[in-house]
Structure 1
Amino acid sequence: MIQPSISGHLMSSMISIKWFEKSACCCRSLIRNGCFFTIFSRLHWSCSLFKESVQTRVDLEKVNLYGKPMGQRLGQAFFLVLLMLLTPLSGCFGEQDVGGLGSTEDVVITPPVLTGGVFQGVTIAAEVDLAVFVPYLMLNSDNGFVQNSTVIDMKAGESVMLTLLAPPRTDTAVVMLGEYGRENWPLRTTEESWRTWVQRDGNDRTDNPGIQRIPATNGTLDTVLPSNNNGGPVLAVRIPIERPMAAAYSEADGGRHSTGLVDGLNVFNYISHMSDETPDITDAADGAVGYLDRWAGQGNAAYEDAAQYLIGNLESFGLEVITQRFTYDSLMTGAQNPEAYNICGYRFGEVNPDKWMVFGAHFDIAPPVNGGMLDPHIFGRTYGTRVGAYDNTAGTAMVLTVAEAMANFNTRNTMVFCLWSGEEGGKRGSDFWTDYWVKEDNPGVEVTNYVNLDMAGVNWPGGGGAPCGGNHGGGEGGCDPQPAVDPDGYPKDEEVWPMRVYIGPSLDHDIMNQPGMVGLAMWIGSDAIGVEEQMSMLIGTDHPADTWKVDDWMAKDRPEIIVYEDTTARSDHATFQDNLGTVTMGFGGLVDGYWCYHQTCDTVDEMIDWMDTTGKDYGEERSGTSNLVDALDTITWWATYSFFHLDENPVRNAYL
C-alpha cells in the first residue's frame, strides 16, 4: 500500500499533469487558430522538464517521506516550468487584443461554410460591441447595385445579413474585427490572397496598405476608399469556402468548375456547340450542326446564320440588341460586301446610362486563303479555318456566358456586350463601332472601360510546350514550333505557356502607365481567382525594349500567368485605346506558337489534346478537358469580377 503522504503527492502530481495537458491542448488550439507559432519548442522543453521533475519527486518520496527541503526545490522547479509556459501565453493573448476585443469568437458567422461563386445570405452576429470589415463583393439590397466591401458597426446582441459573392476559386474568406466606430482598416497587398495575408500574420502588422470607410449615400452600407492610414492590427476571422461540382459531371469532364454565377464548363459547352462539325444535311448554310465558316465579308450564308444565332441568344438574356452593318472588302475577291456587322447587347445603367462599360470579342474567324483548307499536319501551314475554336469561338462563348449572368443585375453604368466582325481583316468591326457609332452617333457617351476576349484556353494549367505526336505539329519528331524561348516573342518554353492579362494604353515598356488597371487585375487574380502562386506582373525596367517580356518573365522564374501592359495592337482592344483613349484589359492565351492558330486544325479536340497533362512531366495529372475548362473558368471569372469592380469605380486613362 502506498503511504498516504505519497498518495497525496502523487494525486497532486497527477492534477498538475492534467493541468499541463489541458494547457498544452489550449496552446495547440491557439496555434491552429494562428495565434502564435514560437511556443512549440518551449512547450516541448517545458513538458520534458516537468515530467522529469514529477518522476524525480515520486522517486524521492519513496525514500524520504518527510524531505521537505527537496520537495521545496521540486516545487520551485515546477514553478519555473509554469513561468516558461505562461510567458509565451501572455504574449499571445496580448497580440490578440484589438481595441478591447477578446477573440474572433466575439462574432458568430452563418453559414459556417460559404458556397464559392454565388451570391448568398451571410449573417454576422455580434456578442460584444465591435466593427466588422467585409472585403468582398456584395449586393446592396437598398440600391440594387453590387459594391466592393463594407464596414458595419454592431452592438452586442445585434446581427446583420449581407448578400456576399463568395470567391469562386479559393478556399478561404476573411472577415476583420475591430473596435466599434473604427474608421481605418488594413488591406492585403495586390500580390497575395487574404488567406496568405492571415497566415503570415498580416492582421497583426502595422505596415499594411489601408482603407477608410465612407458613409453610405444611396444605401445603408458604407463603402471604402484607399487611405494612408490602416488603423493598426485587427482580428481576422477565417471562413472556409467550398465550390460544389455539378452532379452530372466528373472531374475529368470539367466538373471542378461547373457551378456558380459563371463557370468554365458552360463556356466549354458553348464552344463545343458552335464548333460542332457533325454533318447536318438539313443545314444549307454550312452543312454542320455547329456554326462554322464565320468568314466576314465573304458572301456566305453561314456567317449570317451564326450572326442570327448570337442575336437570338443575347435577346433571350433580356438585353436590347443593336447591330451596325458596315462595308467589308473581301480578302478573296476584293469585292465590297455590306454583310459584315457588329452585334451588341445593352443593359442600360440606372445612374449613368451614358457611361458604357464594354465587354467584347470578335466572332469572325480566319477566312481561307492560299489553299487554307489543307490540313497543316499533312501539307504544312497555310491560312484559314472552318471552325476557329480557339480564335475566337472561345472569346465569343465567354461573352455569351458573362452576358447571360450579368443581364440580371442592376448596374450604375450601361453594360454593353459586343461581338465584333472583321477583326481578322484588321479590327474593322470595333474600329467602325468606336469611330462611327460612339463618336458620331452617340457623342455624349463615355466608354469608361473595355474588356477584350481573344483566344483563350491553350495556356495554364495545361499546354506546357508544343505536344509531339498524336497529329500535333506534323507528328512524332516534327513538332513545330519548337517549344523554345523566343527572346523577342511571347514568353514560353518547353514547360510553361503562360496565360496573358494585357492592359493598355501604354507608351513605355519600362514604366507602369496604367497602375489602376494593373493593380485591379492583380487584386482580383491573387484572391478571387486563386492564382497568386502562378501570377506575376511583368515590366521592362532595366530590360531592352525588344525583349523585355521574355527577359522579365525569365527573371521572375517563368510565371504561368502574366499581367503586363501591352505595347502591341493585334486585337480589338487597340481600337478602343486609339480611337477613344479607353483603358482596356484583355485576356488570352498564345498567339504565335500555337500550331493550329488560323489553321484548319483549330478545333475543340485539338485544344483538349494540347491541355492534357496526364503522363506529362509538367502540370498536375488532369485530363485535357479538365484543364481546358479550368482555363476558361479562370478567365471568365476574372472578367466578371472586373466588370463588377469597374461599374463601381471605373479606371480612367492616366494619360488624360
Structure 2
Amino acid sequence: MYSALLLIVLMLLGPLSGCIGGTPDEEIIDADATLTIDGLPATDATVLLGEWHDLLLIGEGLRLSAPAHDVLLFVNGSMDLDSSVPVNGDRLAFRLLTTPYTEEVVLTIYDQNGRKTTFELPIANGTPVINGQEWFEKMDYITCDPIIDGRPSAECGGYNDRWMGAGNPAYERGAAYFQGHFESLGYRTHMLRVTDHLNPTQPESLNVVAWKDGRDDSCVQGMGGHMDIMPPAGPPGGGTHEGAYDNTAGTVSMMLFAKVLADMEVECDTFLALWSSEEEGLRGSNAFANNDCGFCLPQDKELRFYINMDMMGISWPAIKPTGEPYPYHAWSGPDIDPDEQDVAITSILDHVHRNVLKAPMDLRIDGTYGAGCDQHWDNHSDLVMDVHEDTFGRSDHVTFRDLGAQTIFHLGAYDDDYDAYHSPSDTLENMMDVVGGQDNLEESIEFVMWAALLEFMFADQTPEIRNVG
C-alpha cells in the first residue's frame, strides 16, 4: 500500500520538476539558433584575440551581454560601455573585439522573460587590429637608410633627419608621406604651416592634421604625437638622425590608430595629428590650437579630451639589462588638487590598465627609477606602472590641458632610464638592443598602443569627459 502511494506521489511530482528543480529544455535559449559569429553557429566559433568578429543576434527582445573588461561590443561603429546590447526589432548586427590579453570569452543571451543561456567560447591567438609586428615593420621602413642599408626604395623609405625649420627638405618629404597615409584611409587631411612673422624664412610649424566627423558637431577630441626629431647639436645628447624612440615610435603609433579608427564612428569631431616643433617648445600644437583656419582647433566647440603619444616602446613589460622592468608612465590631467581625483578620464586610465589589460599595478622594484618630474614621485619612485593623475608636462598634451581638455600622456623610459635621449644613438637598432631583441620591443609597444586605443574608445563614449576650463 505504501509503495503504491509513493509511486502515485512521484508520478504527480514528475511534471512539476521542471519548475521546481530547474528549467526544462524547451525553455533554454538555443545559442546556435539565435546567434551567429562570423557566419557560424555561435558555439562553433573561435574568438581570435585582438581581432574583429561579426555577430548577428536574431529574435525580438533578446539581449547579449559579456564581461565588459574582457569583451568589447560595438553597435553602429561605437563601443557599448556595458558590453550589453539589445535587439531592437527582430535582429541586431554588431561586432565583438577582445584584446590580446583577454583570458576568456563568456557570452550570455537573455530573452525578455528573464531566461538566459551562458556559454564560453574557445579563444586563440589572432593578428590584433593594432600590433607590435606591424609597428616594427613601419618603423623599419621609415628609419632605414637606403644608401647605408643598400635596400630598394620599396623596402626603405628613409624618412630620417626630420628636423623642423628653414624649409628642411627631409622634414617636408616626411610630412608629405604621413599626409598621404591619412588621406589613403579616408581622412580629411591638411598640412598646417604657420610662419614666424619675425623671420619669414623660418617655418614655425608644419603639422599634419587628419579630421574625422563625429555624430555631435558641437564637440572636439583628439590624439597626437610629434613627428619632428631633435636637430644636430640639440641638448642633451647632440641631436639625432633617426629619432626612433623620440618620436618616430609615437608617430607610427598614430598611423596605426588611424587604421583602426577609420572604420569606427566617433561621438565628437576627432583630429589625429602629427605635430611639428615639439622639440622647439610645443610650437606645432600651439599653432593648431590658437590659429583660426578651416582645419585648426575650432574655437566654438567644446574640447573634451586629448591623448598624447611621445617616446614609445621602452617600458614595461620590457626588461632592463640590469634585470628590472622598465618603468611605464601614463599620466592623466589636469591634476588640480594632488590629494583628490580631479577628472573623470583618470578613472578610464585606471580601468583600462587595471581591469582590461590586467597590468600589475602594484609591481615595484628594489630601489628607485632614475627620473622624477611628477608631483607624486616620492610615492611612485619604485613603482613600475606609474599610472595616475599628475601635472607632468614636457610634451604636446600641455597645449590642450591648458585649454581645459582632459588629457592622457603616454611616455616610456626617460632621462636616466634611457641614455640615448636626443642623441645619435636613438635608433631602432638601439631600441631593440636595450630591451633584449625585436620580440620584446614589439611586445612592449603593443601593450602601450592597446592602452591608448582603449582609452580613446572609452573616453569617446563617456559623457562625463568634459572640458574643465
Sort the TM-score into its range (normalised by shorter chain): 0.7 to 0.9
Corresponding position: 1:521 with 2:377: no
Give 1:599's match in structure 2, choosing from 413, 423, 427.
Answer: 423
8 Å CA contact 1:171, 1:240 repeated in 2:
no
* CA spacing shift, 1:440–1:429, aligned 2, 3 Å: closer
Gaps of 5+ in 2: 1-18, 32-41, 365-371
| Residue number in structure 1 paired with 2:230 | 366
| Structure-to-structure mapping, 1:67-82, within 5 angstroms | none
Deviation (angstroms), 1:101: 6.4
8 Å CA contact 1:110, 1:123 repeated in 2:
no
* CA spacing shift, 1:512–1:111, aligned 2, 3 Å: farther
Corresponding position: 1:340 with 2:195: no
* CA spacing shift, 1:639–1:329, aligned 2, 3 Å: farther
Deviation (angstroms), 1:362: 0.2
Corresponding position: 1:113 with 2:46: yes
8 Å CA contact 1:385, 1:601 repeated in 2:
yes
The one-letter amino acid of 2:124's match is E
Q: State the distance in 1 between where 2:431 and 2:196 align.
A: 30
Q: What are the superposed Cα offsets for residues 371-428 of structure 1, whole Å, 9 maximum, x if unpaired?
A: x8xxxxxxxx632101100000000000011112211223232221100000001111
| Aligned residue-pair number | 420
Corresponding position: 1:588 with 2:443: no
Q: State the distance in 2 between where 1:309 and 1:456 align.
A: 21
| Residue number in structure 1 paired with 2:289 | 434
Deviation (angstroms), 1:456: 0.7
The one-letter amino acid of 1:139's match is F
Corresponding position: 1:300 with 2:300: no
The one-letter amino acid of 2:420's match is C
> TM-score with structure 1 length normalisation?
0.57
| Structure-to-structure mapping, 1:471-620, within 5 angstroms | 495-514=324-343, 516-529=344-357, 531-534=358-361, 549-553=376-380, 558-578=382-402, 580-593=403-416, 594-612=418-436
Q: State the distance in 2 between where 1:362 and 1:153 align.
A: 41
Corresponding position: 1:172 with 2:104: yes
| Residue number in structure 2 paired with 1:273 | 141
The one-letter amino acid of 2:345's match is M
The one-letter amino acid of 2:405's match is T
* CA spacing shift, 1:639–1:102, aligned 2, 3 Å: farther
| Structure-to-structure mapping, 1:80-95, within 5 angstroms | none
Corresponding position: 1:648 with 2:461: yes
SS in 2 for 1:149: coil
Corresponding position: 1:448 with 2:304: yes
The one-letter amino acid of 2:298's match is N
Q: What are the superposed Cα offsets for residues 339-375 of structure 1, whole Å, 9 maximum, x if unpaired?
A: 63111011112x21342221100000011126x8xxx
Pairwise CA RMSD: 3.8
* CA spacing shift, 1:411–1:130, aligned 2, 3 Å: closer
| Residue number in structure 2 paired with 1:423 | 278
| Residue number in structure 1 paired with 2:368 | none
Deviation (angstroms), 1:462: 1.5
The one-letter amino acid of 1:520's match is I
Q: State the distance in 2 between where 1:102 and 1:546 align.
A: 63
| Structure-to-structure mapping, 1:306-325, within 5 angstroms | 306-325=174-193
| Residue number in structure 2 paired with 1:636 | 449
| Residue number in structure 2 paired with 1:263 | 131
Q: State the distance in 1 between where 2:184 and 2:373 align.
A: 46
Q: State the distance in 2 between where 1:655 and 1:409 align.
A: 27
Q: State the distance in 2 between where 1:546 and 1:426 align.
A: 17
SS in 2 for 1:502: strand
Give 1:243's match in structure 2, choosing from 125, 139, 143.
Answer: 125
* CA spacing shift, 1:402–1:361, aligned 2, 3 Å: same
SS in 1 for 2:438: helix
| Structure-to-structure mapping, 1:206-225, within 5 angstroms | none
* CA spacing shift, 1:291–1:160, aligned 2, 3 Å: closer
Q: Which has the higher contact order (CA 8 A, sep 6+)?
A: 2
The one-letter amino acid of 2:123's match is I
| Residue number in structure 2 paired with 1:391 | 246
Q: State the distance in 2 between where 1:411 and 1:534 align.
A: 30
* CA spacing shift, 1:294–1:535, aligned 2, 3 Å: farther
Computing the radius of gyration over CA atoms, which structure comes out larger, 1 or 2?
Answer: 1
* CA spacing shift, 1:101–1:607, aligned 2, 3 Å: farther
Q: State the distance in 2 between where 1:110 and 1:383 align.
A: 59
Q: State the distance in 1 between where 2:118 and 2:362 align.
A: 25
| Residue number in structure 1 paired with 2:35 | none
Q: State the distance in 2 between where 1:107 and 1:181 align.
A: 15
Q: State the distance in 2 between where 1:589 and 1:433 align.
A: 25
Q: What are the superposed Cα offsets for residues 247-275 of structure 1, whole Å, 9 maximum, x if unpaired?
A: xxxxxxxxxxxx22222211122211111
Corresponding position: 1:408 with 2:408: no
| Structure-to-structure mapping, 1:451-462, within 5 angstroms | 451-462=307-318
The one-letter amino acid of 2:350's match is M
Deviation (angstroms), 1:113: 2.8
Deviation (angstroms), 1:441: 7.2
Q: State the distance in 2 between where 1:498 and 1:178 align.
A: 44
* CA spacing shift, 1:598–1:548, aligned 2, 3 Å: same
Deviation (angstroms), 1:643: 2.2
8 Å CA contact 1:111, 1:123 repeated in 2:
no
Deviation (angstroms), 1:431: 1.2
Deviation (angstroms), 1:280: 7.0
Gaps of 5+ in 1: 1-96, 183-233, 245-258, 373-380, 468-482, 484-493, 538-544, 613-623
* CA spacing shift, 1:243–1:159, aligned 2, 3 Å: farther
- Identical residues among aligned pairs (%): 28
* CA spacing shift, 1:353–1:282, aligned 2, 3 Å: farther
Q: State the distance in 1 between where 2:374 and 2:179 align.
A: 42
SS in 1 for 2:144: coil
Q: State the distance in 2 between where 1:159 and 1:653 align.
A: 34
8 Å CA contact 1:153, 1:181 repeated in 2:
no
Q: State the distance in 2 between where 1:547 and 1:324 align.
A: 32
Corresponding position: 1:353 with 2:217: yes
8 Å CA contact 1:110, 1:122 repeated in 2:
no
* CA spacing shift, 1:595–1:399, aligned 2, 3 Å: same
Q: State the distance in 2 between where 1:173 and 1:653 align.
A: 32
Q: What are the superposed Cα offsets for residues 208-249 of structure 1, whole Å, 9 maximum, x if unpaired?
A: xxxxxxxxxxxxxxxxxxxxxxxxxx99754343223xxxxx
> TM-score with structure 2 length normalisation?
0.78
